[in-house]
């Protein structure tokens, strides 16, 4: 008879995965976010949801955001349209259109540190993430910029991302994993990932690895230059 029980937890000497922080981008969606919240509740894990302003225009998705916050998850800003990385957009109103409008949608659930995650365009970190005016908006507004160090590409490989995520987590002492709570079919494997990671000794936590948070409450904790596009006319 097939044993359907979760794998036994790893002992300290068998531990091959360290700490993991889960984050979910591009929601909320009525198709997938409830499933993710149910799994996290069963597994007693607190995560962060970086939401899109355009997805918060309906009562059903607003209710999901409130549910997530009510269950102890952190809610962050992931731009309004998620269309073009902010470092590649021009215009004086980009920050307000993409960040300010979304922040307005988070009234009542916003994290005190005003969490913001830029759009990477496939999970890539580079100077396309922000522009100088956008960075000024984040600094002046007291935002916390949350990046990542694990991108298992669940959107592109919905049935294969678990192995990718586990391998990435094995290489990191503390992985900040980016997953997506929209309808690709990937999140049906979320619970399996959690159980397999725990079997290898993973400890799930809600806070972020310091090297993934270069800006905290508007104050730079690391050099922001690698994430900011050069201004037009600059040498």
Is residue 111 part of the annotated active site? The answer reads: no
Set 73, 82, 180, 189: catalytic member: 180
10 contacts 201 by C-beta, under 8 angstroms: yes
Rounded-to-integer distance, Cα 95 and Cα 75, Å: 19
CB atoms inside a 10 Å sphere around CB 11: 8
Is residue 180 part of the annotated active site? The answer reads: yes
- Which residue numbers are catalytic? 25, 180
């Amino acid at each position: 008879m097939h044993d359907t029980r979760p794998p036994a937890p790893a002992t300290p000497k068998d531990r091959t995965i360290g700490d993991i922080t889960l984050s979910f981008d591009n929601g909320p969606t009525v198709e997938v976010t409830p499933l993710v919240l149910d799994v996290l509740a069963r597994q007693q894990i607190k995560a962060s949801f970086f939401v899109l302003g355009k997805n918060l225009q309906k009562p059903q998705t607003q209710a999901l955001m409130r549910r997530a916050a009510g269950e102890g998850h952190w809610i962050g800003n992931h731009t309004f349209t998620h269309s073009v990385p902010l470092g590649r957009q021009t215009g004086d109103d980009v920050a307000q259109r993409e960040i300010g409008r979304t922040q307005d949608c988070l009234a009542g659930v916003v994290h005190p540190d005003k969490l913001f995650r830029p759009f990477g365009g496939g999970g890539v970190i580079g100077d396309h993430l922000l522009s100088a005016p956008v960075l000024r908006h984040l600094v002046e507004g007291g935002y916390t910029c949350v990046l990542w160090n694990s991108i298992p590409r669940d959107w592109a490989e919905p049935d294969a991302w678990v192995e990718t995520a586990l391998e990435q987590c094995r290489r990191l002492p503390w992985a900040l994993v980016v997953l997506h709570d929209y309808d690709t079919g990937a999140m049906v494997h979320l619970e399996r990932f959690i159980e397999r990671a725990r079997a290898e000794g993973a400890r799930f936590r809600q806070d972020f690895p310091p090297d993934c948070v270069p800006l905290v409450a508007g104050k730079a904790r690391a050099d922001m230059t690698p994430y900011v596009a050069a201004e037009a006319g600059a040498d």
